[in-house]
A = this chain, B = another copy of it.
Amino acid sequence: MSTISIIGSGSMARAIGTRAARHGHTVEILSRNTTAAQELADGIGHGTSVGEYGARPSGDIVIVAVLHQGAVEAVTRFGDALAGKILVDITNPFTADATGLVSTPGHSVAERIAAVAPDDAQVVKAFNTIFGGVIERDEPLDVLFAGGDAEAKAAVAGLLRSMGMQPRDAGGLGMAHALEWAGILLVGVASNGAGFDSALAVV
């Protein structure tokens, strides 16, 4: 098992951190809001620690679990502290009514994060097609992901498997925009009968 660092202290940070900790990983929370970070760490338990926001994260894999509006800013703020890290973008850049995206092809949040991250950091898009509550439920589920670096993707796939999830490789980082639309699609099917405990899967 390994150390997983999570930037953010919201519901997705809690969901991913909780599931990772339950499956034996050591979790580190990094948030601008140190009070929220400590509360989240205490809530997750299993020895979850709070790291210094902006300092080098402990984990090789860093989940960027902030709202889409703040993701590029957060990665910029950490700057060289993220050298060599695998950054997992989980954001959904929805419009206010969640029927469209504020991003465009070639300019997904994942691609914009990659543009500001250190050269030897790698970005993988994942987790954005699953509701936090479904992640926390700790049942088997598919996680669609995409990224440009095979080694980074293999590491994320390994993490997902260790958490009882089935990684589903969708392709290169350009596919992150398709995943952003899949987030919209999930909200659509959830709102129109499938319910918010549903998830996308590949069968």
Interface of A: prevailing SS: mixed
Q: How many copies, total?
A: 2
Using CB atoms, name the residue of chain B closest to A184: B178
Over the window 117-145 of chain A, the binary record of Cβ atoms lying under 8 Å from chain B Cβ atoms (1 yes, 0 no) is 00000000000000000000000011010
**B-contacting 9-mer, from A19-27, A32-40, A193-201:** A193-201
B189 lies within 8 A of A144 (CB): yes
Q: Which of A8-16, A76-84, A164-172 contacts B (4 or more CB under 8 A)?
A: A164-172
Q: Which of A92-109 contact B (CB under 8 A)?
A: 99-101, 105
Flag whether A202 is at the interface (Cβ < 8 A): yes
**Residue tally, chain A, CB below 8 Å to B:** 34
A63 in the interface (beta carbon within 8 A): no
Identify 10 residue pairs between A and B in the complex whose beta-carbon atoms are under 8 Å apart, listed by A's number.
A99-B175, A100-B177, A141-B203, A168-B194, A170-B188, A178-B184, A178-B185, A182-B182, A200-B200, A200-B201
| Nearest chain B CB to A183 CB, angstrom units | 9
Contact A203 B198 (CB under 8 A): yes
Give the interface of A toward B (CB within 8 A): 99-101, 105, 141-142, 144, 146, 168-172, 174-175, 177-179, 181-182, 184-185, 188-189, 191-194, 198-203
A175 and B141 CA atoms in complex are apart in Å by: 24
Q: How far is the CA of A48 from the CA of B146 in the complex (A)?
A: 43
Given A182-B181, A189-B144 in contact, is the A202-B203 Cβ separation under 8 Å? no
B144 touching A169 by the CB < 8 A rule?
no
Do B189 and A170 touch across chains, with their CB atoms under 8 A apart? yes
Contact of A169 among B142, B192, B203 (CB under 8 A): B192
- A170 in contact with B141 (CB, 8 Å): no
